[in-house]
Structure 1
Amino acid sequence: MKNLLALAFVALFSISAMAQQADLRKKISVSGTAETEVTPDIIYISISLKEYLKDGNSKKKVEINELETQLYNAIQSAGISKENLTISNLSGYNTATEKKKNPDFLVSKQYRLKVTDLNKWNAIIGAVDAKGVAYTNIDSYDYSKIETLKKELKIKALQAAKAKATYLVEALGNQLGSVIDIQEINNETFPQPVYRTNMMMVRSAAADTAAPSAEIDFKQIKLSYVMNTVFEIK
């Protein structure tokens, strides 16, 4: 009997404590949004160079070193640091034996170039032997001040949420209290570039002239943030 009374007392005490801890404040939940669009100012371009035979003659092979030198010189002439050009892939460098056996064996090499001005890119690719360019393609892109922009948008979204909560609460004759909870929702998107023509990827092994330059339209990077908030109502 005593045990039952003790259990009942503990249960009653727990319920009373929970009731005292319950948040009985009047609250309002609102969301604020801020968004913007920016044009990418950092572009990463994939470039593939490949040896080729002049007139199909293995004794007149244009070596990968010659093509690579053309690319480096073009980059320097465009005022771009050589550190912006990196090797992304090699094809044929582990098959030296195959090259000795087969004079027609062709080596290819892939690069990744970082540019901030596509007009410079047109000059660069135009200075490289078109027949040695297997393809070029936009790899990815970014915006240099994106972290600063994200911070500004989050603050604006939070301010928008507070402004909304304020006029809603005041419409009922109350005052807005302090914020109780904040939750961030990230809706940023990075769309792929849109091309005016489909010639950005140029297969020029059989080309007799310089690789054509493509006109490119970039979709802007859209950043959108939603801040879900809970405010106390005084």
Structure 2
Amino acid sequence: MKRLFVIALLALTTLSTFNALAQQADLRRKITVTGTAETEVTPDIIYISISLKEYLKDGNSKKKVDITTLETQLFNAVQKAGIAKENLTINNLSSWSYQTEKRKNPDFLASKQYRLKVADLNKFNLILEGVDAKGITNTYVESYDYSKIESLKKELKVKALLAAKEKAAYMVEALGDKLGNVLDIQDVGDNGGMMVPQYRNYAMKAEMSMDAGAAPEIDFKKIKLSFTVNTVFEIK
């Protein structure tokens, strides 16, 4: 008798557990969809490295174009282009030890490397036109950014969410149902983030015999941003 009582109690407990789980189970009909939004923008914050170096006119050690002259040309060109002087800084230089090196080696040529911040590469070309090309050893893009990147990310995520809702709606309505409330949203994030724009790196050296007024051509393409969200909607 005691054994039958235990069996009955276990059966009752199991049934109660089953009923509780059944009540907790989400029996709503759902649809899961993915939404994506993307755009392309042109970087408006570009950091460019410019390297200047003294050189000898016609190989004559007594006719040297010094680093001060080249630096003045660069500074004046930046001002003429309408760029704030704070946007031109020195990265590194060898000219601090100029006097010491000059005593050791009369043929020593000082050099400096600058970092220029621009919003438009056309201005960069204008700047280079104002500097003696033989004194420029190389130029290249260090890094880039977009000033409104954070607000753009938010905008794209909202568009991705709305795209997911639109997709879910026409799929559900095609079956004669209606789309209910959103039950879950997962931010997948960016698909690769900001893609590296393509540009050309031009090294300009004296032996290349470039014209003083010739500026390097830099092909700077747009960067692409893409965001994805996963969503779950109820089907009414």
Q: What is the letter of the counterpart of residue 214 of structure 1? A: P
Matched letter for residue 205 of structure 1: A
Structure 2 partner of 1:202: 203
Distance in 1 (CA, whole Å) between partners of 2:19 and 2:106 is 90
Q: Which deviates further from its counterpart, 35-44 or 45-54?
A: 35-44
Identify the residue that residue 221 of structure 1 maps to in structure 2. Answer: 223
TM-score (norm 2): 0.81
Q: Specify the code of the residue in structure 1 equivalent to 2:57.
A: K
Identity, % of aligned positions: 64
Once the 2 structures are TM-superposed, how far is the Cα of residue 106 of structure 1 from its aligned partner? 1.8
- Which moved further from structure 2: 218-227 or 66-75? 218-227
Query: In the alignment, is residue 192 of structure 1 matched against residue 193 of structure 2?
Result: no
Which aligned pairs between 1:73-112 and structure 2 lie closer than 5 A?
Answer: 73-91=76-94, 93=96, 97-112=100-115
- Indicate the residue corresponding to 2:235 in structure 1: 233
Q: Contact between 1:204 and 1:211, CA under 8 Å: does it hold in 2? A: no
Q: Are residues 1:133 and 2:116 paired?
A: no
8 A contact 1:53–1:104 mirrored in 2:
no
1:178 paired residue number: 181
Measured in 2, the distance between the counterparts of 1:203 and 1:82 equals 24
Structure 1: distance between partners of 2:197 and 2:223: 9
Give the structure 1 partner of residue 121 of structure 2.
Answer: 118
Q: CA contact under 8 A between 2:51 and 2:139: conserved in structure 1?
A: yes
Aligned residue type for 1:174: D
Is the 2:197–2:222 Cα contact (8 Å) retained in structure 1?
A: no
The letter for the 1-side match of 2:202 is M
Task: Look at both structures and tell me which one has the larger radius of gyration over its CA atoms.
Answer: 2
Query: 1: distance between equivalents of 2:71 and 2:22?
Result: 76
Unaligned runs of 5+ in 2: none
RMSD (Å) for aligned C-alpha atoms: 2.9
The residue number in structure 1 matching 2:34 is 31
The 8 Å contact of residues 130 and 213 in structure 2, kept in 1 or not, is answered as: no
d(CA) in 1 for partners of 2:85, 2:216: 23
